[in-house]
Structure 1
Amino acid sequence: MAEIITPADEYYNQARLVWNRAINKYPEEIIYCTSIEDVQKAIVYSVKKKLEIRVRGGGHNYQGFSIGNDVAVIDISNLNSIKIDYEKSTFTVQNGIKLGQLYTFLSGIGFPFPGGACPTVCISGLALGGGWGYSSRKYGLTCDSLLELKMVNYEGELITANKCTNSDLFWACKGGGGGNFGVVVAMTFKLPLKVERVTKFEFDISNPSKYTQIEFLDVWQHFITNAVPEINMRGSISNSAANGININCRGLLYGTPGELYRLLEPFSKIKGFKLKYNYVSFLQAVLLLGSVYPQYQYFESYSGFVKQYYDYCTLQNLVELINQPRPRGSEEINLNLYGLGGKVSEVGKFDTAFYYRDSFYILLIETIFKNNCYKEINKDWIEYNIDDIYYITEGSYINFPYYPIKKYMYEYYGENKYRLEEVKHKYDPYNIFNFKQSIK
Structure 2
Amino acid sequence: MNQEMKALAKKVITKDDFEYEVCRQGWNRGIEQYPLAIVYCQKEEEIQATIAYAKKHHYDLRIRSGGHHYEGYSNGNEVIVIDVSEMNAIEVNENRQTVTIQGGVRNEALYKALGEKGYPFPGGGCPTVGVAGLTLGGGWGYSARFLGLAADSLLELELVDAYGKILVANEKVNPELFWACKGAGGGQFGVVTKLVYKLPAKVDLATWIYLDFPNSTLVEKKQIIATWQETFETLDSRLNLKMSIYHSDERGKGIFMTGICYGDASLAHELLMPFKSIACSMVLKLEEASILKVNQIIQDSHPPYEKYKSNGRFLMRRLQDEEIEALINLVEVKPEGAYYAALSFYGMGGKIAQVPKEKAAFYYRDAKAIIGLQAVWEDQEAAPVNRKWVLNQLEQVGGYTEGAFVNFPLAEIADYETAYFGTHTNQLRKIKEKYDPENCFSFPQSIRK
What corresponds to 2:362 in structure 1?
354
Residues 228-269 of structure 1: per-residue CA shift (max 9 Å, x gap): 111101111100112210211111111121111111111012
Amino acid at match of 1:309: R
Structure 1 counterpart of 2:302, from 289, 293, 296 = 293
SS at match of 1:353: coil
CA contact (8 A) 1:205 1:248 kept: yes
TM-score, with structure 1 as normaliser? 0.99
What corresponds to 1:306 in structure 2?
315
Matched, 1:439 2:447: yes
Amino acid at match of 1:305: F
* Residues in 2 aligned to 1:52 and 1:153: alpha-carbon distance in whole angstroms: 15
Q: Once the 2 structures are TM-superposed, how far is the Cα of residue 76 of structure 1 from its aligned partner?
A: 0.3
Select between 302-311 and 277-286 the one with higher mean Cα deviation. Answer: 302-311
What corresponds to 2:148 in structure 1?
140
Matched, 1:365 2:373: yes
> How many residue pairs are counted as aligned between the two chains?
439
Amino acid at match of 1:196: D
Matched, 1:184 2:189: no
Amino acid at match of 1:239: H
CA contact (8 A) 1:338 1:362 kept: yes
Residues 283-309 of structure 1: per-residue CA shift (max 9 Å, x gap): 000000111100100000122101111
CA contact (8 A) 1:298 1:369 kept: yes
Matched, 1:261 2:262: no
Amino acid at match of 2:39: I
SS at match of 2:51: helix
* Residues in 2 aligned to 1:206 and 1:330: alpha-carbon distance in whole angstroms: 19
Matched, 1:420 2:445: no
SS at match of 2:401: coil
Q: Mapping of 1:19-418 within 5 angstroms?
A: 19-270=27-278, 271-323=280-332, 325-418=333-426
Same amino acid, percent of matched pairs: 38
Select between 31-40 and 178-187 the one with higher mean Cα deviation. Answer: 31-40
SS at match of 2:359: coil
Listed as ranges, the gaps of 5+ residues in structure 2 are 1-8
Amino acid at match of 1:83: E
* Residues in 2 aligned to 1:384 and 1:38: alpha-carbon distance in whole angstroms: 44
* Residues in 2 aligned to 1:309 and 1:390: alpha-carbon distance in whole angstroms: 14
Residues 367-424 of structure 1: per-residue CA shift (max 9 Å, x gap): 0011321111111101111111111101010000000012000000011111110100
SS at match of 1:84: strand
* Residues in 2 aligned to 1:259 and 1:296: alpha-carbon distance in whole angstroms: 34
Q: Once the 2 structures are TM-superposed, how far is the Cα of residue 85 of structure 1 from its aligned partner?
A: 2.0
* Residues in 2 aligned to 1:184 and 1:33: alpha-carbon distance in whole angstroms: 12
Q: Once the 2 structures are TM-superposed, how far is the Cα of residue 5 of structure 1 from its aligned partner?
A: 0.8
SS at match of 1:38: helix
Residues 312-355 of structure 1: per-residue CA shift (max 9 Å, x gap): 100010111111x2211100110111001000001112210000
Q: Once the 2 structures are TM-superposed, how far is the Cα of residue 37 of structure 1 from its aligned partner?
A: 1.8
* Residues in 2 aligned to 1:133 and 1:383: alpha-carbon distance in whole angstroms: 25
* Residues in 1 aligned to 2:350 and 2:12: alpha-carbon distance in whole angstroms: 44
* Residues in 2 aligned to 1:343 and 1:70: alpha-carbon distance in whole angstroms: 42
CA RMSD between the two structures:
0.9
Amino acid at match of 2:115: S
Amino acid at match of 2:232: I
SS at match of 1:302: coil
* Residues in 1 aligned to 2:261 and 2:88: alpha-carbon distance in whole angstroms: 29
* Residues in 1 aligned to 2:315 and 2:403: alpha-carbon distance in whole angstroms: 9
SS at match of 1:341: coil
Amino acid at match of 2:270: R
SS at match of 2:391: helix
Distance verdict in 2 for CA 1:415–1:2, change over 3 Å: farther
SS at match of 2:438: coil
* Residues in 2 aligned to 1:36 and 1:197: alpha-carbon distance in whole angstroms: 38
CA contact (8 A) 1:267 1:273 kept: no
* Residues in 2 aligned to 1:426 and 1:30: alpha-carbon distance in whole angstroms: 28
Q: Once the 2 structures are TM-superposed, how far is the Cα of residue 95 of structure 1 from its aligned partner?
A: 1.2
Amino acid at match of 1:134: Y
TM-score, with structure 2 as normaliser? 0.97
SS at match of 2:329: helix
* Residues in 2 aligned to 1:37 and 1:371: alpha-carbon distance in whole angstroms: 41
Listed as ranges, the gaps of 5+ residues in structure 1 are none
* Residues in 1 aligned to 2:250 and 2:206: alpha-carbon distance in whole angstroms: 32
Amino acid at match of 2:296: L
SS at match of 1:350: helix
SS at match of 2:331: helix
* Residues in 2 aligned to 1:178 and 1:303: alpha-carbon distance in whole angstroms: 16
Amino acid at match of 1:312: D
CA contact (8 A) 1:22 1:371 kept: no
SS at match of 2:45: helix
Amino acid at match of 1:172: A
* Residues in 2 aligned to 1:31 and 1:86: alpha-carbon distance in whole angstroms: 34
Residues 19-58 of structure 1: per-residue CA shift (max 9 Å, x gap): 0011100110110111122112111121112110000001
Amino acid at match of 1:329: G
